[in-house]
Copies of this chain bind each other. A is one copy, B any other.
Amino acid sequence: MQTQTAIRSDISRHSARNGRPVPPPAFNGRTEADPFEKQMQLMGAVMPYPRNAEIFGESDPAEYLYKVVSGVVRTYKILNDGRRQIGGFYLPGDMFGLESGDEHTLSAEAVTDTKVLVVKRSTLVALAARDAAVARELYQLTARELRRTQERILLLIKSAQERVASFLLEMTARSPAGNAVELPMSRQDIADYLGLTIETVSRTLTSLESAATIEVPSSRRIVLRNRSALNRLNG
């Protein structure tokens, strides 16, 4: 049992701006502009969310699908004892809100100021019914999400060192390039993602640093010094 985040105090400071959909601007996600992409953009609207704003809540009707245009999003669930488990971080180009059913099983918040492409699910589903390519894409997206989730499970049975190492490798792989990552999320976010406490995350990072595996020039910035050591930890 661990404590993790209880109820976070800064959420309500920025309440979700339910602004009006604006016309989709130039899209700069990371995936190529395939037909599915284009459909999404035509059907959807880009919405801005300030840092820590809620994008949807745990039991909201799952009316929309979302794609990150810029910024970073986290999905999470609060357990009844107050702990928080983060389901995933979504970077530009990633889609989220794919759970089945009529209601979301997770909540979603903006980690940083974020722009999100929002598409009505029913529109997409209707389109999928007519266009097999769209249906296939929808299926693939979900299957990929499933695969990622299964990998998370493997993560969660490992030691703290292994979890942190895997996390760093994952984030580096998903970030622009090179051996350096700018982590957009707090230690608490990382801890709640990995199922650890902030203290353990912090300690693990310092221990990796003193082993010359990584460098931590500033708390949000990490440089990978010895990638093979990390890979060895990765299991």
Interface size class of A (residues with CB under 8 A): 35 or more
Q: Residue A60 at the B interface, CB < 8 A?
A: no
Q: Residue A79 at the B interface, CB < 8 A?
A: yes
> Which chain B positions have C-beta within 8 A of A139?
128, 135, 138-139, 142
Q: Is the CB of B138 within 8 A of A85?
A: no
The answer to whether residues A156 and B153 also contact, given A99-B146, A100-B140 and a CB cut-off of 8 A, is yes
Residues on A facing B (Cβ under 8 Å): 1-2, 4, 77, 79-81, 83, 85, 87, 98-101, 105-106, 125, 128-130, 132, 135-136, 138-140, 142-147, 149-154, 156-159, 162, 195, 235
Cβ contacts A to B, 29 pairs, < 8 Å: A2-B157, A4-B157, A81-B235, A85-B153, A85-B154, A85-B157, A87-B153, A98-B143, A100-B140, A100-B144, A100-B146, A100-B147, A101-B147, A105-B150, A106-B150, A128-B132, A129-B132, A129-B135, A129-B136, A130-B132, A132-B135, A135-B135, A139-B142, A146-B146, A146-B149, A149-B149, A149-B153, A152-B153, A153-B153
